[in-house]
Structure 1
């Protein structure tokens, strides 16, 4: 009883080799060709998921609450007061002005959409 027979090749068969469509050389920015930023549709989907599934919203809010607030302590009391004054007067959006608001908004954006950008602009008005 033979289980594995060697297939006999027909002498009239032609062998064909095809050209590879893949580039053989490495392109440094090849990965960027496939990159696509998050679309508006995806952002709306994440917002609707957070609104419609209470567990998602509760989990994100809980993580933000667990991060808590920041307290700066420094050996020199004058420097500590200056740092606290700076952190309490950071303008966040049009309605908030402290580091805790910035961290809450930043974490909410990061956990909801997977993206978060923060920018600090210093000026001489304060």
Structure 2
């Protein structure tokens, strides 16, 4: 069941990524999607998913691994960086690299922190 849900949610994560890439020009669409995914995955894994799916770990993994795994991508990030470097846009490439890495870590931290605060608020009620 878990494998099937990873595949189904992976399909929808890929579709969401496809439409998301049409918002901005490359490489900025990849950056935006990856930062959004880095923020939302901890919220799903640490708060919303655990509440919505209760004891259905297969659904938690299906959405976390399937949807967010397909929605975000390391390979597009790397390819965009290399394309910028090969186009002699080194300053933009380095800026893109720094924003992607530090921004991704900060987005994941913010998502985790928000999930923890939401958890504490729920426990207070």
TM over 0.5: no
Normalising by structure 2, we get a TM-score of 0.28
Normalising by structure 1, we get a TM-score of 0.28
**Which of the two has higher C-alpha Rg?**
1
Identify which of structures 1 and 2 has the higher relative contact order when contacts are C-alpha pairs closer than 8 Å and 6+ apart.
2
Structure with the largest fraction of helix? 2
